[in-house]
Structure formats: C-alpha cells, structure tokens
Amino acid sequence: LTSRYGIPAERIRVVPGCVNVDQFNLPLTQNEARLRLQLPLGRPIVLAVRRLVRRMGLEDLIDAVKLVKRRHPDVLLLIAGKGRLQQELQQRIDDAGLGDNVKLLGFVPDEHLASLYRAADISVVPTVALEGFGLITVESLASGTPVLVTPVGGLPEAVAGLSQDLVLPSTGADAIADGLGKALDGSMKLPDADACRAYARANFD
C-alpha cells in the first residue's frame, strides 16, 4: 500500500481474523467435554478441523499418526470436516491399519465445535499450501486447546506469539509426527488452557 498507493505507513493497520472467544470458552473440563461427545477419557486425542481437500495436508497427518502410534499406541486422531477426499482418506486409514486410531467425523455443526476442541489434547493444522490466516487456530486457542501448525501462510503469525514451539519446522509427516510425539509425551511444554484462552482473547476477540 505504501509503495503502490503512497499511503503513509503510520496510517496502515493490520487487522487479524477474529472469533467470538466467549462462544468457544465453554465452562467444561476436558473430561466433561469428552463425556458429552461420547469420546474415550483415557486416550490422547488429536483434532484436525479441515475441509477434506488436497492442500490441507491431511494425508501427511494420517501418515504422521502411523509414526506417532509407535510411541503412543492409543493415540486417537479425529478429523472433522467434509470434502471430496473422504473416500481416499478412509482408504489410506484402512491401508495403514489405523482404523482404531483415526476417525473421520464428517461435518460437525458449529454448536458442537467448541466441545470438540475442548475434548482434544491438541489440535493440528497440517496445511501444505494456500493458507490465509486459519481461523481454526484461534477457535482452538479460544477453547483452551493448544494447536500445532505448519509454517504455511499466516499460520505461524497466529500462534508464534503464544509459543514458537507450536510452529512446526516444515510440512510433511515426519515433522508433524515429531511435533505431536513431543507434545504428547511432555517433552514439548505446551501452553495450558488458561494461557491459550488469554492469548486468544487479547489478540483475536
């Protein structure tokens, strides 16, 4: 804007994507959210809310779970969303023997999303291309759930102010698996629910 239209830099402000934080800040514990959604209480749950299209990196995420399963055999990945890759992704899950570890939930109504975020230990945004800001990152944080992101588009900008560790070094199954493994075994210190909510409210409400 400055170089093309001559607008003074001091008159330019960047307004990030925002969500209604109160909509996602439910008065529920993780276990209460899991009970509400009939999800297992004792398993580590990873959540991805994505359209089932190629650029979202869901193939990498499924392949990453196969690697993570070696260290965390009870890991459960929930993928919420619909799209043209549903059958292909289900076949990938079946071929990898991950039927007990990866579930395609299909479309999840907005009124259930906050509970789903709250039920998860961590969210993942595994995008490989063409990501703008990624409001799902903010939705997850507003729900009190930390979110790992690939270094694509505006995703790092959305979470780096909370913890640089939430930004994976690259796209791909290996990077995702390494980040998830460290998050689930505690070797990566994740921001707690209060820190996630406070960050979302301060920056994106």
Regions in the chain scoring below 70 on pLDDT: 1, 12-21, 131-133, 205
pLDDT of residue 205: 66
Q: Let me know: does 60 contact 172? Beta carbons within 8 Å.
A: yes
**Residue 163 phi/psi, 5° resolution?**
-160, 125
pLDDT of residue 17: 57
Tell me the per-residue pLDDT of 2-28, one tens digit each, with 9 for 90 and over.
Answer: 778 788 877 766 555 556 667 778 889
Calculate the dihedral angle through the C-alpha atoms of 175, 180, 185, 190, rounding to the nearest 10 degrees. Answer: 110
pLDDT of residue 15: 54
Q: Find the farthest-apart pair of alpha carbons in the chain and give their distance in angstroms, rounded.
A: 58
Q: Let me know: does 48 contact 126? Beta carbons within 8 Å.
A: yes
What is the bridge-based pairing of β-strands 76-80 and 45-49?
Answer: parallel
Q: What is the pTM of this model?
A: 0.89
Q: Mention the CATH class of domain 25-204.
A: alpha beta
What is the bridge-based pairing of β-strands 45-49 and 102-106?
Answer: unpaired
Tell me the per-residue pLDDT of 63-77, one tens digit each, with 9 for 90 and over.
Answer: 999 999 999 999 999
pLDDT of residue 132: 67
**Residue 184 phi/psi, 5° resolution?**
-75, -30
Q: In what order do the strands lie in the sheet with 45-49?
A: 102-106, 76-80, 45-49, 122-125, 147-149
